[in-house]
Amino acid sequence: MIVLVVNAGSSSLKYAVLDSTTGRRAVTGDIERIGEFDGGAVDHAQAFGQVLEVLADVGVQPEAVGHRVVHGGDRFSAPAVIDDDVVAAIAACVPLAPLHNPAALAGIAAARRAFPDVPQVAVFDTAFHADMPPAAHTYAIDREVARQNRFRRYGFHGTSHRYVSRRAADLLGRTVDTVDVVSLHLGNGASACAVQRGRSIDTSMGATPLEGLVMGTRSGDVDPAIPVILARDGWDAAEIDDLLNRRSGLLGLGGSNDMRRIHALAEDGDAAADLAREVFCRRVTKYLGAYLALLGGADAVVFTAGIGENDPWVRSRVCTGLERLGIVVDPDRNGAPDRGPRRIDDGSAPTAVMVIPTDEELAIATECAETLARA
Ligand code: ADP
Protein backbone atom coordinates (compact mmCIF):
# COMPACT_ATOMS: atom_id res chain seq x y z
CA MET A 1 0.00 0.00 0.00
CA ILE A 2 1.24 3.51 -0.84
CA VAL A 3 1.02 5.49 2.41
CA LEU A 4 1.55 9.17 3.10
CA VAL A 5 3.05 9.32 6.59
CA VAL A 6 2.51 12.65 8.34
CA ASN A 7 4.44 13.59 11.46
CA ALA A 8 3.25 16.99 12.61
CA GLY A 9 5.31 18.49 15.44
CA SER A 10 4.65 21.73 17.24
CA SER A 11 6.59 23.76 14.64
CA SER A 12 7.40 21.21 11.94
CA LEU A 13 5.74 18.88 9.47
CA LYS A 14 7.67 15.80 8.38
CA TYR A 15 6.20 13.63 5.68
CA ALA A 16 7.02 10.67 3.49
CA VAL A 17 5.24 8.67 0.84
CA LEU A 18 6.32 5.07 0.99
CA ASP A 19 5.37 1.54 0.12
CA SER A 20 4.27 -0.15 3.36
CA THR A 21 5.64 -3.52 2.25
CA THR A 22 8.99 -2.66 0.71
CA GLY A 23 9.65 0.56 2.63
CA ARG A 24 10.64 2.24 -0.62
CA ARG A 25 10.22 6.01 -0.47
CA ALA A 26 8.70 8.00 -3.32
CA VAL A 27 9.06 11.31 -1.47
CA THR A 28 10.30 12.52 1.90
CA GLY A 29 10.31 16.04 3.20
CA ASP A 30 10.46 18.22 6.21
CA ILE A 31 8.88 21.66 6.63
CA GLU A 32 10.47 23.42 9.61
CA ARG A 33 9.76 26.55 11.63
CA ILE A 34 6.04 26.64 10.99
CA GLY A 35 4.48 29.75 12.49
CA GLU A 36 7.80 31.44 13.10
CA PHE A 37 8.24 35.01 12.05
CA ASP A 38 10.48 34.24 9.06
CA GLY A 39 9.24 30.68 8.51
CA GLY A 40 7.90 29.45 5.18
CA ALA A 41 4.43 28.46 6.40
CA VAL A 42 2.15 30.30 8.80
CA ASP A 43 0.38 27.19 10.04
CA HIS A 44 0.01 23.43 9.52
CA ALA A 45 -2.75 23.88 6.96
CA GLN A 46 -0.48 26.01 4.79
CA ALA A 47 2.42 23.61 5.30
CA PHE A 48 0.16 20.79 4.18
CA GLY A 49 -0.60 22.76 1.04
CA GLN A 50 3.13 22.67 0.26
CA VAL A 51 3.13 18.89 0.76
CA LEU A 52 0.28 18.55 -1.75
CA GLU A 53 2.25 20.54 -4.32
CA VAL A 54 5.25 18.24 -3.89
CA LEU A 55 3.05 15.14 -4.27
CA ALA A 56 1.43 16.60 -7.39
CA ASP A 57 4.86 17.44 -8.86
CA VAL A 58 6.13 13.87 -8.51
CA GLY A 59 2.72 12.47 -9.41
CA VAL A 60 2.08 10.24 -6.40
CA GLN A 61 -1.38 9.56 -5.06
CA PRO A 62 -1.46 7.98 -1.59
CA GLU A 63 -3.87 5.11 -0.93
CA ALA A 64 -3.86 5.90 2.79
CA VAL A 65 -2.59 8.55 5.18
CA GLY A 66 -0.91 7.53 8.45
CA HIS A 67 -0.62 10.19 11.13
CA ARG A 68 1.84 10.00 13.99
CA VAL A 69 0.02 11.08 17.14
CA VAL A 70 2.07 11.43 20.30
CA HIS A 71 -0.62 10.90 22.91
CA GLY A 72 -3.52 8.48 22.80
CA GLY A 73 -4.08 8.53 26.57
CA ASP A 74 -5.58 5.31 27.92
CA ARG A 75 -8.16 5.23 25.13
CA PHE A 76 -6.01 3.85 22.29
CA SER A 77 -4.10 0.58 22.55
CA ALA A 78 -3.83 0.25 18.76
CA PRO A 79 -3.90 2.52 15.72
CA ALA A 80 -7.35 3.86 14.86
CA VAL A 81 -9.06 4.62 11.56
CA ILE A 82 -9.78 8.33 11.79
CA ASP A 83 -13.37 9.54 12.04
CA ASP A 84 -14.95 12.39 14.02
CA ASP A 85 -15.02 10.29 17.22
CA VAL A 86 -11.30 9.53 16.97
CA VAL A 87 -10.54 13.20 16.34
CA ALA A 88 -12.55 14.10 19.46
CA ALA A 89 -10.68 11.49 21.50
CA ILE A 90 -7.30 12.86 20.32
CA ALA A 91 -8.52 16.34 21.27
CA ALA A 92 -9.43 15.01 24.72
CA CYS A 93 -5.76 14.06 25.15
CA VAL A 94 -4.51 17.60 24.45
CA PRO A 95 -4.05 18.34 28.18
CA LEU A 96 -1.66 15.37 28.34
CA ALA A 97 0.42 16.57 25.34
CA PRO A 98 -0.27 20.30 25.00
CA LEU A 99 2.39 20.92 22.34
CA HIS A 100 2.11 17.75 20.29
CA ASN A 101 -1.54 16.73 20.02
CA PRO A 102 -2.78 20.10 18.66
CA ALA A 103 -0.19 19.82 15.88
CA ALA A 104 -1.34 16.29 15.07
CA LEU A 105 -4.95 17.49 14.98
CA ALA A 106 -4.00 20.30 12.60
CA GLY A 107 -2.25 17.77 10.33
CA ILE A 108 -5.25 15.44 10.43
CA ALA A 109 -7.70 18.24 9.62
CA ALA A 110 -5.59 19.40 6.67
CA ALA A 111 -5.13 15.86 5.34
CA ARG A 112 -8.83 15.03 5.61
CA ARG A 113 -9.66 18.17 3.63
CA ALA A 114 -7.02 17.41 1.00
CA PHE A 115 -7.84 13.70 0.66
CA PRO A 116 -11.50 13.30 1.61
CA ASP A 117 -11.73 9.87 -0.04
CA VAL A 118 -8.45 8.43 1.25
CA PRO A 119 -8.62 6.46 4.54
CA GLN A 120 -6.62 7.99 7.37
CA VAL A 121 -5.17 6.23 10.39
CA ALA A 122 -3.84 7.63 13.66
CA VAL A 123 -0.78 5.77 14.99
CA PHE A 124 -0.04 6.59 18.63
CA ASP A 125 3.34 6.72 20.41
CA THR A 126 1.56 5.55 23.54
CA ALA A 127 -0.54 2.70 22.09
CA PHE A 128 2.05 -0.08 22.42
CA HIS A 129 2.18 0.59 26.17
CA ALA A 130 -1.53 1.08 26.79
CA ASP A 131 -2.02 -2.52 27.92
CA MET A 132 0.81 -2.51 30.45
CA PRO A 133 -0.37 -4.14 33.67
CA PRO A 134 -1.72 -1.73 36.32
CA ALA A 135 1.28 -2.46 38.55
CA ALA A 136 3.49 -1.05 35.77
CA HIS A 137 1.48 2.06 34.96
CA THR A 138 0.31 3.12 38.41
CA TYR A 139 2.17 5.84 40.33
CA ALA A 140 2.25 5.36 44.10
CA ILE A 141 0.57 8.66 44.85
CA ASP A 142 -2.86 9.52 46.22
CA ARG A 143 -5.31 7.69 43.98
CA GLU A 144 -7.78 10.54 43.75
CA VAL A 145 -5.14 13.07 42.73
CA ALA A 146 -3.89 10.64 40.10
CA ARG A 147 -7.40 10.03 38.77
CA GLN A 148 -8.32 13.70 38.52
CA ASN A 149 -5.12 14.55 36.67
CA ARG A 150 -4.97 11.33 34.61
CA PHE A 151 -1.51 10.68 36.07
CA ARG A 152 -0.25 7.25 35.08
CA ARG A 153 2.70 5.92 33.13
CA TYR A 154 1.71 6.15 29.46
CA GLY A 155 5.10 5.57 27.85
CA PHE A 156 6.24 6.82 24.43
CA HIS A 157 8.38 5.65 21.46
CA GLY A 158 5.88 2.78 21.23
CA THR A 159 6.01 2.56 17.44
CA SER A 160 9.79 2.18 17.60
CA HIS A 161 9.84 -0.34 20.48
CA ARG A 162 7.20 -2.43 18.73
CA TYR A 163 9.01 -2.31 15.40
CA VAL A 164 12.48 -3.22 16.69
CA SER A 165 11.19 -5.96 19.00
CA ARG A 166 9.51 -7.55 15.97
CA ARG A 167 12.68 -7.28 13.90
CA ALA A 168 14.55 -8.86 16.82
CA ALA A 169 12.25 -11.88 16.68
CA ASP A 170 12.84 -12.06 12.89
CA LEU A 171 16.60 -11.98 13.44
CA LEU A 172 16.29 -14.89 15.90
CA GLY A 173 14.15 -16.76 13.38
CA ARG A 174 11.25 -16.90 15.84
CA THR A 175 7.74 -15.49 16.06
CA VAL A 176 7.26 -12.36 18.11
CA ASP A 177 4.93 -14.09 20.60
CA THR A 178 7.71 -16.43 21.71
CA VAL A 179 10.46 -13.93 22.53
CA ASP A 180 11.18 -11.50 25.36
CA VAL A 181 13.14 -8.38 24.46
CA VAL A 182 14.58 -5.38 26.24
CA SER A 183 14.41 -2.54 23.73
CA LEU A 184 16.71 0.47 24.26
CA HIS A 185 15.74 3.47 22.11
CA LEU A 186 18.65 5.88 22.61
CA GLY A 187 18.24 9.03 20.54
CA ASN A 188 17.83 12.64 21.52
CA GLY A 189 14.85 11.33 23.45
CA ALA A 190 15.56 7.96 25.06
CA SER A 191 13.50 5.19 26.59
CA ALA A 192 13.71 1.54 27.52
CA CYS A 193 10.94 -1.01 27.16
CA ALA A 194 10.40 -4.54 28.47
CA VAL A 195 8.64 -6.47 25.69
CA GLN A 196 7.20 -9.81 26.76
CA ARG A 197 6.07 -12.03 23.89
CA GLY A 198 5.35 -8.99 21.73
CA ARG A 199 3.69 -6.82 24.38
CA SER A 200 5.05 -3.90 26.36
CA ILE A 201 4.94 -4.76 30.06
CA ASP A 202 6.95 -1.78 31.30
CA THR A 203 8.67 1.29 29.92
CA SER A 204 10.83 4.07 31.29
CA MET A 205 8.96 7.16 30.08
CA GLY A 206 5.95 7.99 32.18
CA ALA A 207 3.07 10.44 32.28
CA THR A 208 5.31 12.57 30.06
CA PRO A 209 8.51 11.85 28.11
CA LEU A 210 10.58 13.32 30.96
CA GLU A 211 10.84 10.22 33.13
CA GLY A 212 13.43 7.49 32.90
CA LEU A 213 16.70 7.59 31.01
CA VAL A 214 19.09 10.51 30.73
CA MET A 215 18.44 12.23 27.38
CA GLY A 216 19.93 14.93 25.18
CA THR A 217 18.40 17.76 27.20
CA ARG A 218 16.07 15.96 29.67
CA SER A 219 17.07 14.80 33.11
CA GLY A 220 15.10 11.57 33.18
CA ASP A 221 14.59 10.30 36.75
CA VAL A 222 15.40 12.73 39.54
CA ASP A 223 14.31 12.79 43.16
CA PRO A 224 10.75 14.19 42.90
CA ALA A 225 11.56 16.45 45.85
CA ILE A 226 14.00 18.48 43.72
CA PRO A 227 11.31 20.44 41.84
CA VAL A 228 9.51 20.91 45.16
CA ILE A 229 12.62 22.50 46.69
CA LEU A 230 13.07 24.72 43.64
CA ALA A 231 9.41 25.78 43.82
CA ARG A 232 9.87 26.70 47.49
CA ASP A 233 12.87 28.76 46.45
CA GLY A 234 10.65 30.73 44.07
CA TRP A 235 11.12 28.95 40.73
CA ASP A 236 7.89 28.95 38.76
CA ALA A 237 6.50 26.04 36.75
CA ALA A 238 7.89 27.30 33.43
CA GLU A 239 11.40 27.64 34.88
CA ILE A 240 11.34 24.16 36.38
CA ASP A 241 9.98 22.74 33.13
CA ASP A 242 12.75 24.49 31.21
CA LEU A 243 15.43 23.18 33.59
CA LEU A 244 14.36 19.53 33.50
CA ASN A 245 13.24 19.29 29.86
CA ARG A 246 15.66 21.62 28.05
CA ARG A 247 18.70 22.34 30.20
CA SER A 248 19.46 18.94 31.73
CA GLY A 249 20.64 15.56 30.47
CA LEU A 250 23.81 15.43 28.37
CA LEU A 251 23.54 19.16 27.69
CA GLY A 252 23.23 20.13 31.34
CA LEU A 253 26.02 17.84 32.48
CA GLY A 254 28.44 17.88 29.58
CA GLY A 255 27.71 21.02 27.57
CA SER A 256 26.23 19.37 24.46
CA ASN A 257 23.11 17.34 23.71
CA ASP A 258 25.01 15.46 20.98
CA MET A 259 26.74 12.30 22.13
CA ARG A 260 29.40 12.68 19.40
CA ARG A 261 30.40 16.03 20.85
CA ILE A 262 30.35 14.60 24.39
CA HIS A 263 32.81 11.88 23.30
CA ALA A 264 35.07 14.41 21.58
CA LEU A 265 35.16 16.58 24.70
CA ALA A 266 35.71 13.61 27.01
CA GLU A 267 38.58 12.35 24.88
CA ASP A 268 40.16 15.81 25.13
CA GLY A 269 40.14 15.43 28.90
CA ASP A 270 36.90 17.25 29.74
CA ALA A 271 35.87 15.66 33.05
CA ALA A 272 32.30 17.01 32.92
CA ALA A 273 31.68 15.46 29.50
CA ASP A 274 33.18 12.17 30.66
CA LEU A 275 30.89 12.17 33.69
CA ALA A 276 27.89 12.99 31.46
CA ARG A 277 28.42 9.90 29.34
CA GLU A 278 29.01 7.75 32.42
CA VAL A 279 25.76 8.96 34.01
CA PHE A 280 23.95 8.34 30.71
CA CYS A 281 25.23 4.75 30.38
CA ARG A 282 24.77 3.86 34.04
CA ARG A 283 21.09 4.83 33.83
CA VAL A 284 20.63 2.63 30.76
CA THR A 285 22.32 -0.29 32.55
CA LYS A 286 20.04 0.17 35.56
CA TYR A 287 16.92 -0.01 33.41
CA LEU A 288 18.32 -2.92 31.44
CA GLY A 289 18.88 -4.80 34.71
CA ALA A 290 15.41 -3.90 35.96
CA TYR A 291 13.75 -5.13 32.79
CA LEU A 292 15.80 -8.34 32.69
CA ALA A 293 14.46 -8.96 36.19
CA LEU A 294 10.84 -8.17 35.22
CA LEU A 295 11.09 -10.49 32.22
CA GLY A 296 12.95 -13.15 34.18
CA GLY A 297 15.71 -12.96 31.56
CA ALA A 298 15.41 -11.97 27.92
CA ASP A 299 16.09 -13.52 24.53
CA ALA A 300 17.49 -10.27 23.17
CA VAL A 301 18.59 -6.79 24.08
CA VAL A 302 18.15 -4.31 21.23
CA PHE A 303 19.92 -1.00 20.72
CA THR A 304 18.25 1.49 18.38
CA ALA A 305 17.96 5.22 17.40
CA GLY A 306 20.77 7.74 16.87
CA ILE A 307 23.01 6.70 19.76
CA GLY A 308 21.91 3.06 19.97
CA GLU A 309 22.57 2.47 16.27
CA ASN A 310 25.81 4.41 15.91
CA ASP A 311 27.70 4.40 19.17
CA PRO A 312 29.76 1.30 19.98
CA TRP A 313 31.27 3.02 23.05
CA VAL A 314 27.85 3.44 24.65
CA ARG A 315 26.73 -0.09 23.74
CA SER A 316 29.89 -1.55 25.23
CA ARG A 317 29.70 0.56 28.39
CA VAL A 318 26.04 -0.29 28.97
CA CYS A 319 26.73 -4.05 28.68
CA THR A 320 30.01 -4.20 30.58
CA GLY A 321 29.98 -6.61 33.50
CA LEU A 322 26.67 -8.27 32.63
CA GLU A 323 28.13 -11.73 31.90
CA ARG A 324 26.27 -13.27 34.83
CA LEU A 325 23.04 -11.83 33.41
CA GLY A 326 23.70 -13.62 30.12
CA ILE A 327 25.02 -10.65 28.14
CA VAL A 328 28.43 -10.63 26.44
CA VAL A 329 29.20 -8.15 23.65
CA ASP A 330 31.79 -9.11 21.02
CA PRO A 331 34.14 -6.10 20.61
CA ASP A 332 34.78 -6.70 16.90
CA ARG A 333 31.12 -7.10 16.00
CA ASN A 334 30.22 -4.12 18.16
CA GLY A 335 32.87 -1.94 16.52
CA ALA A 336 32.21 -3.00 12.92
CA PRO A 337 30.84 -0.17 10.78
CA ASP A 338 27.83 -2.26 9.61
CA ARG A 339 24.47 -0.57 9.18
CA GLY A 340 21.64 -3.10 8.97
CA PRO A 341 20.00 -5.20 11.70
CA ARG A 342 22.72 -7.33 13.28
CA ARG A 343 23.92 -9.22 16.33
CA ILE A 344 26.85 -7.94 18.35
CA ASP A 345 26.96 -10.58 21.10
CA ASP A 346 29.72 -13.18 21.16
CA GLY A 347 27.35 -16.06 20.39
CA SER A 348 28.09 -17.96 23.62
CA ALA A 349 25.85 -16.09 26.05
CA PRO A 350 22.12 -16.84 26.37
CA THR A 351 20.92 -13.32 25.52
CA ALA A 352 21.42 -11.97 22.02
CA VAL A 353 22.57 -8.35 21.80
CA MET A 354 21.41 -6.59 18.65
CA VAL A 355 21.60 -3.32 16.79
CA ILE A 356 18.40 -2.73 14.84
CA PRO A 357 17.91 0.56 12.99
CA THR A 358 14.48 1.91 13.79
CA ASP A 359 12.34 3.27 10.98
CA GLU A 360 9.35 5.04 12.44
CA GLU A 361 7.98 6.11 9.04
CA LEU A 362 7.98 2.54 7.77
CA ALA A 363 6.53 1.32 11.05
CA ILE A 364 3.71 3.88 10.82
CA ALA A 365 3.04 2.96 7.17
CA THR A 366 2.94 -0.73 8.07
CA GLU A 367 0.67 -0.21 11.09
CA CYS A 368 -1.57 1.95 8.91
CA ALA A 369 -1.87 -0.74 6.21
CA GLU A 370 -2.42 -3.51 8.82
CA THR A 371 -5.13 -1.47 10.51
CA LEU A 372 -6.97 -0.84 7.24
CA ALA A 373 -6.69 -4.50 6.29
CA ARG A 374 -8.44 -5.39 9.58
CA ALA A 375 -11.07 -2.63 9.36
P1 ADP B 1 15.56 11.94 17.75
O2 ADP B 1 15.18 11.51 19.12
O3 ADP B 1 15.66 13.42 17.59
O4 ADP B 1 14.82 11.22 16.62
P5 ADP B 1 17.87 10.42 16.84
O6 ADP B 1 17.37 9.05 17.07
O7 ADP B 1 18.07 10.89 15.46
O8 ADP B 1 17.05 11.49 17.66
O9 ADP B 1 19.24 10.57 17.64
C10 ADP B 1 19.92 11.78 17.63
C11 ADP B 1 21.14 11.66 18.51
O12 ADP B 1 21.93 10.54 18.09
C13 ADP B 1 22.08 12.85 18.37
O14 ADP B 1 21.74 13.84 19.30
C15 ADP B 1 23.41 12.25 18.67
O16 ADP B 1 23.70 12.42 20.05
C17 ADP B 1 23.27 10.78 18.42
N18 ADP B 1 24.14 10.29 17.35
C19 ADP B 1 23.95 10.35 16.01
N20 ADP B 1 24.97 9.79 15.36
C21 ADP B 1 25.84 9.37 16.29
C22 ADP B 1 27.10 8.71 16.27
N23 ADP B 1 27.69 8.37 15.11
N24 ADP B 1 27.69 8.43 17.44
C25 ADP B 1 27.10 8.77 18.60
N26 ADP B 1 25.93 9.38 18.69
C27 ADP B 1 25.30 9.68 17.56
Q: At what angle do helices 259-267 and 271-295 cross, to 10 degrees?
A: 130
**Burial class of residue 315, CB neighbours in 10 A (0-12, 13-18, 19+):** buried
pLDDT of residue 39: 61
Confidence at 43, pLDDT banded by 50, 70, 90: confident
Helix-strand-coil split of the chain, %, nearest 5: 45, 20, 35
Confidence at 11, pLDDT banded by 50, 70, 90: confident
Confidence at 341, pLDDT banded by 50, 70, 90: very high
Confidence at 318, pLDDT banded by 50, 70, 90: very high
For 23-37, 104-118, 198-212, which range has the lowest pLDDT when averaged over its residues?
Answer: 23-37
Question: pTM here?
Answer: 0.96
For 8-17, 33-42, 256-265, 327-336, which range has the lowest pLDDT when averaged over its residues?
Answer: 33-42
Q: Looking at the annotation, which residues are catalytic?
A: 125
pLDDT of residue 242: 96
Is the pLDDT reported for residue 37 higher than 80? no
Rounded CA separation 258/202 (Å):
27
Please give the distance, rounded to the nearest whole angstrom, from the Cα atom of residue 144 to the centre of ligand 1. 40
Q: Which of 10, 267, 281, 310 to mutate to test the pocket of ligand 1 (most atoms within 8 A of CB)?
A: 310
Is the pLDDT reported for residue 128 higher than 70? yes
pLDDT of residue 35: 83
Q: For residue 186, which atom of ligand 1 is closest to its CA?
A: 6
Could you report the per-residue pLDDT of 249-281, keeping only the tens digit for each?
999 999 999 999 999 999 999 999 999 999 999
Confidence at 36, pLDDT banded by 50, 70, 90: confident
Residue 122's closest CA among 92, 95, 165? 92
Residue 252's closest CA among 238, 272, 270, 266? 272
Is the pLDDT reported for residue 27 higher than 70? yes
Q: List residues near ligand 1 (CB under 6 A).
A: 187-189, 216, 257-260, 305-307, 310-311
For 32-41, 164-173, 229-238, 321-330, which range has the lowest pLDDT when averaged over its residues?
Answer: 32-41
Please state, rounded to an integer, the average pLDDT across all residues of the chain.
96
CATH code 3.40.50.300 for 2-124: no
pLDDT of residue 45: 87
Q: Which helix (H) or strand (E) holds 288?
A: helix 271-295
9-24 mean pLDDT: 93
pLDDT of residue 131: 96
Q: How many percent of the chain have pLDDT more than 70?
A: 99
Is the pLDDT reported for residue 363 higher than 70? yes
181-206 mean pLDDT: 98
Residues 120 and 82: beta-carbon distance below 8 Å:
yes
Which residues of the chain are in CATH 3.30.420.40 domains? 2-124, 175-355
**Burial class of residue 114, CB neighbours in 10 A (0-12, 13-18, 19+):** middle
Please give the distance, rounded to the nearest whole angstrom, from the Cα atom of residue 198 to the centre of ligand 1. 26
Sheet with 120-124, strands from edge to edge, namely 25-31, 13-19, 2-8, 64-69, 120-124, 80-81
Is the pLDDT reported for residue 246 higher than 80? yes
5 HSE (CA, 13 A, CB side): 30
Rounded CA separation 10/93 (Å):
15
Strands (E), the chain: 2-8, 13-19, 25-31, 64-69, 80-81, 120-124, 180-186, 190-196, 199-203, 300-304, 342-343, 352-355
Q: Report which protein residue has its CA nearest ligand 1's atom 20.
A: 306
Confidence at 41, pLDDT banded by 50, 70, 90: confident
For 31-45, 304-318, 329-343, 350-364, which range has the lowest pLDDT when averaged over its residues?
Answer: 31-45
What is 175-355's CATH superfamily? ATPase, nucleotide binding domain (3.30.420.40)
